[in-house]
Structure 1
Amino acid sequence: MATSTSFSTFSLLPQRKSPRLSTVICSLSPLPSVSHISQSSLSSQFLSISQPLNIYSFSKRPQFSSKFIVKASADKKKVLIVNTNSGGHAVIGFYFAKELLASGHEVTVLTVGEEASSKMKKPPFTRFSELVSAGGKTIWGEPSEVEKVVDGATFDVVLDNNGKDLDAVKPVADWAKSASISQFLFISSAGIYKTSDEIPHVEGDPVKEDAGHVAVEKYISSLSFPSWAAFRPQYMIGSGNNKDCEEWFFDRIVRNRHVPIPGSGMQLTSISHVRDLSSMLTLAVEKPKAACCKIFNCVCDRAVTFNGLAKLCAQAAGCELKIVYYDPKEAGVDAKKAFPFRNMHFYAEPRAAKESLGWTSTTNLPEDLKERFAEYVSIGRDKKEISFELDDKILDSLKVSSSVPASISV
Structure 2
Amino acid sequence: MAVASASTAAALPSLHYASRSLPHRTLRLLPSIPYTSHSTVTRLSSRRLPNRYSSPSSPSSFSVKAAAASASKKSVLIVNTNSGGHAVIGFYFAQELLGSGHEVTVLTVGDEGSDKMKKPPFTRFSELVSSGGKTLWGDPAEVGDIVGKNKFDVVLDNNGKDLDTVKPVADWAKSAGVEQFLYISSAGIYKTSDEIPHVEGDLVKEDASHVAVEKYIAGLSFGSWAVFRPQYMIGSGNNKDCEEWFFDRIVRNRPVPLPGSGMQLTNISHVRDLSSMLSLAVENSDAANGKIFNCVSDRAVTFDGLAKLCAQAAGRELKIIHYDPKAVGIDAKKAFPFRNMHFYAEPRAAKQILGWTSTTNLPEDLKERYDEYVKIGRDKKEMKFDIDDKILESLKVAVTV
Give the TM-score band, short-chain normalised.
0.7 to 0.9
Match status 1:302 vs 2:279? no
Percent identity (aligned): 78
- 1: CA distance, partners of 2:112 / 2:78: 16
- 2: CA distance, partners of 1:133 / 1:111: 17
- 2: CA distance, partners of 1:51 / 1:134: 42
In the alignment, which residue of structure 2 is the partner of 1:46? 7
Tell me, yes or no, if the aligned pair for 2:18 and 2:299 is still in contact at 8 Å: no
Task: Give, in angstroms, the shift of residue 327 of structure 1.
Answer: 0.6
In the alignment, which residue of structure 2 is the partner of 1:343? 340
- 2: CA distance, partners of 1:386 / 1:299: 31
Aligned with 2:280 (options 266, 280, 283) = 283
- 2: CA distance, partners of 1:194 / 1:322: 33
Task: Give, in angstroms, the shift of residue 145 of structure 1.
Answer: 0.4
Output one character per residue of 1:311-359: Cα deviation in whole Å (capped at 9) or x when no partner: 0000000000011001111111111111010001110000000011000
Task: Give, in angstroms, the shift of residue 53 of structure 1.
Answer: 2.3
- 1: CA distance, partners of 2:219 / 2:281: 19
In the alignment, which residue of structure 2 is the partner of 1:8? none
Aligned with 2:204 (options 204, 207, 231) = 207
Q: SS of the residue aligned with 1:87? A: coil
Tell me, yes or no, if the aligned pair for 1:110 and 1:138 is still in contact at 8 Å: yes
In the alignment, which residue of structure 2 is the partner of 1:42? none
- 2: CA distance, partners of 1:249 / 1:214: 32
Q: Aligned ranges for residues 3-402 of structure 1 at < 5 Å?
A: 12-13=1-2, 46-50=7-11, 52-53=13-14, 56=17, 74-402=71-399
Moved more, 336-345 or 73-82: 73-82
Tell me, yes or no, if the aligned pair for 1:73 and 1:103 is still in contact at 8 Å: no
Task: Give, in angstroms, the shift of residue 152 of structure 1.
Answer: 1.4
Task: Give, in angstroms, the shift of residue 374 of structure 1.
Answer: 0.7
Sort the Cα spacing of 1:150 and 1:288 in 2 relative to 1 into closer, same or farther, 3 A.
Answer: same
TM-score for the superposition, normalised by structure 1:
0.84
- 2: CA distance, partners of 1:180 / 1:386: 51
In the alignment, which residue of structure 1 is the partner of 2:48? none
Output one character per residue of 1:64-89: Cα deviation in whole Å (capped at 9) or x when no partner: xxxxxxx9874101000000000110
Task: Return structure 1 stretches of 4+ with deviation > 3 angstroms.
Answer: 54-58, 71-74
Tell me, yes or no, if the aligned pair for 2:157 and 2:183 is still in contact at 8 Å: yes
Structure 1 letter corresponding to 2:130: S
Task: Give, in angstroms, the shift of residue 307 of structure 1.
Answer: 0.4
- 2: CA distance, partners of 1:231 / 1:113: 24
Structure 2 letter corresponding to 1:53: S
Q: SS of the residue aligned with 2:280? A: helix
- 2: CA distance, partners of 1:91 / 1:374: 18
Structure 2 letter corresponding to 1:227: S
Output one character per residue of 1:121-156: Cα deviation in whole Å (capped at 9) or x when no partner: 111111100100111000001011000010111000
- 1: CA distance, partners of 2:4 / 2:143: 59
Task: Give, in angstroms, the shift of residue 56 of structure 1.
Answer: 3.7
Q: SS of the residue aligned with 2:281? A: helix
TM-score for the superposition, normalised by structure 2:
0.85
Sort the Cα spacing of 1:224 and 1:72 in 2 relative to 1 into closer, same or farther, 3 A.
Answer: closer
